[in-house]
Amino acid sequence: MTHDTDRGFDRRTVIKTAAAGALGLAATGTASAHDGLGSSGSTTTSGDHDHTDPTQHTDSENVEKLDYHSLGGVGTSSNAGRPEEPHYGAITEIRTHGDFAYVGFFSSDDPTNDRGMAILDISEFTDAESFTELRNAELSVLSFVRNDDAASAVMDVKVSADGAYVFLSKQPYTALFNETDPTPGTDGESTDATAGSVVAVDVRDKGNPEVVGAYTAWTTGSHNATYHRVGGEDYVFACKDLDADGTAGLYALHFDRATGQFTLVNRWTIDGDGGVGTGGTKYIHDITIQDDPRTGKPTGYLSYWDMGLRVLDLSDPANIEEIGRFEMDRAHYAEPAPVLLDGRRIVVAGQETPSVDGGSSGELYLLDADGLDEGYDGSPNLAELDSWELLSDTSFQNFTLSPHNFDVTEDGWVHLAHYHGGVRYLDIDTDIWQLREKGYYLPHEDVPEDSKMEGLNSATPFTWGAVERDGITFAADINTGVYALRHEYIPFDADGGTHVTAEREDDGSTFTAGQTNRVDLTIATDTEVRVRDEIPAEWAVVGGDATTTETVNGRTEVTFDLPTEGDELTYFAEAPSGLENTQTYTFGPVSYSTDGGETWTPLPETTEDNTVLGVSSGGLGALGVVGAGSAAYQVRDRLLGSLPGVDTELHDHPDREE
């Protein structure tokens, strides 16, 4: 981190402006009692109770620990993940995709230096076919991604929809909490250009991940960032939180997979205080994004601290539109349910509480977001259904008992990381629309004291994030490691869950205007699923047992009419005509549904770039070599005629061999 006192980046200023954010500094407080945790102090003993002593935190309710990995080294939990061989430093966000988990590091000290992210294999849990296999399953670290600046922390980890890339949000916060020398390198200069940045990591080779690009235009970096695909293009929406230099905002960054380059498309901030009142903190903290279950539009839920929860239409990243809001203080993280719950669009929004003296530990709000369908005039249009808090009258400091990140599942559970409160399980009761706690687990492995976070809080547990995969909760605890947990009320599919793979085969990668592309999808599945593909709206489906639906994002969904238990599915798409210039279009990803088409899951590595030659590129003549041997030139009667619903006359192109 380079300190620029003229622009407000001296250590004192950064500490002051960081106070409102995750891992900011907090005021002092006293202790009070609460279930399972005794008296709440942060790093000191309070009476006969010490929050740094894991032996005093072994409580759980309705939850069993399946496995634990300390992230000490590469290998299984039994060989490289025991508590006596830990990661030295602090652990942050955890995210899963398929059979893998990705975990960020706030800091790395001797002897586990220079770590930015760990990649874990969780397949023994997702593939388990019995409770015996589940309880014998092990977490295994496959590799680490380097962090070349000890003063920089990986604050957030997000995965692309196809699982090919992970995006890290980095900030030079480590030094603020005495975790390392604040001025590494020569003459106080950082040794790492990505010290404050969004970093793209290619994780297709899990054992050898590769940093392929970074957006580095900030001094203090991105606090959180979320990947989303919009209009067939890759975007990362990054939250630049601190505003000492006037650069705070939500940054829409286009990501180019071919080059690893990020291009700034837009920067969005609220205009004024939005009617929240005076004295509030404008601190842009985090964003989650989903394709809305009703409209299909990419919709962002932006936690803007004292400016409340802001809802954004991200259909055009260059022209972001605010479409809703909910008034609250300390809006830290919000996540919509992935599907409509009992017909409602539901969002859970949480606070983060740095410190409190005789007050609430921080609330989670259950919100009805159906007001988004009624238009927006600037007034709050999300309605509170219920709120939940761990403690209503408590005192603590250093974030000890605050809620933090969480995961909302399609069956209406909230898997909540609650710092020293451990992992809490909240059920969304759709009969009376309430949040009801139905169990918890306190991560409590006894790691060496000098391996814990030094500057902020060395409490055990101190849980940053919890996410669900196939009924199993994977939780990242800041001071101890990663836990795999099972809640007895949350079904575990003893068949090992749904496993679907798809392989795509196109006629080629280059086409002329009006040429037909045959797309073959080979599906392997252990249960009956519906399958759909996604193509640009400029292409027209001209054959196959499929129904097309136009989306608001300029795409066409190609949904096969019948479910499959594993087969080759085929459709034909005709390239657009009248192109002056050559255009490249993305097909995919392929998605599957186990509930008849209500919800869809994208499959990794099922996209394909297809280029259509424009007139200025040589048009038909340029394709003469490219496509002459492709299947589309050979299947006139045998293939097209055998597919129901295919009009063979649509394929009578003059350039096709008979």
**pLDDT in the model for residue 100:** 95
- Residue 625 placed within a domain: yes
Rounded distance, CA 352 to CA 104, Å?
20
Take residue 177 and report the two structure tokens written for it.
């909490």
Structural domain boundaries, residue 575 = 500-651
- Residue 513 placed within a domain: yes
**pLDDT in the model for residue 649:** 35
The sign of the torsion formed by the CA atoms of 477, 480, 482, 486 equals: negative
User: Residue type at 144?
Assistant: F
pLDDT-wise least confident of 131-135, 453-457, 637-641: 637-641
- Are 345 and 323 in contact by the 8 Å Cβ rule? The answer is no
Whether the predicted pLDDT of 191 surpasses 90:
no
Rounded distance, CA 350 to CA 339, Å?
19
pLDDT, one tens digit per residue, over 131-179 is 899 999 999 999 999 998 888 899 999 999 889 999 999 998 886 666 7
User: Residue type at 348?
Assistant: V
- Are 577 and 564 in contact by the 8 Å Cβ rule? The answer is no
- Residue 534 placed within a domain: yes
What CATH number is associated with residue 629?
A: 2.60.40.1930
The sign of the torsion formed by the CA atoms of 374, 318, 200, 531 equals: positive
Whether the predicted pLDDT of 117 surpasses 80:
yes
**pLDDT in the model for residue 429:** 96
- Are 304 and 283 in contact by the 8 Å Cβ rule? The answer is yes
**pLDDT band, residue 618 (cuts 50/70/90):** low
Q: Please give the tally of structural domains in the chain.
A: 1
pLDDT, one tens digit per residue, over 334-367 is 999 999 999 999 999 999 999 999 999 999 999 9
The sign of the torsion formed by the CA atoms of 558, 561, 567, 572 equals: negative
**pLDDT band, residue 310 (cuts 50/70/90):** very high
- Residue 360 placed within a domain: no
**pLDDT band, residue 497 (cuts 50/70/90):** low
Rounded distance, CA 523 to CA 404, Å?
39
- Residue 22 placed within a domain: no
- Residue 225 placed within a domain: no
Q: Tell me the backbone φ, ψ of residue 649, rounded to 5 degrees.
A: -70, -20
3-state DSSP assignment of residue 532: strand
Residue bearing the bigger pLDDT, 656 or 504: 504
Residue bearing the bigger pLDDT, 136 or 566: 136
- Picking from 359, 350, 345, the residue whose alpha carbon sits closest to that of residue 330 is 350
- Residue 614 placed within a domain: yes
pLDDT, one tens digit per residue, over 352-406 is 999 999 999 999 999 999 999 998 999 999 999 999 999 999 999 999 999 999 9
- Are 484 and 492 in contact by the 8 Å Cβ rule? The answer is no
The DSSP line for 179-203 is SS-SS-SGGG--S-TTSSEEEEEE-
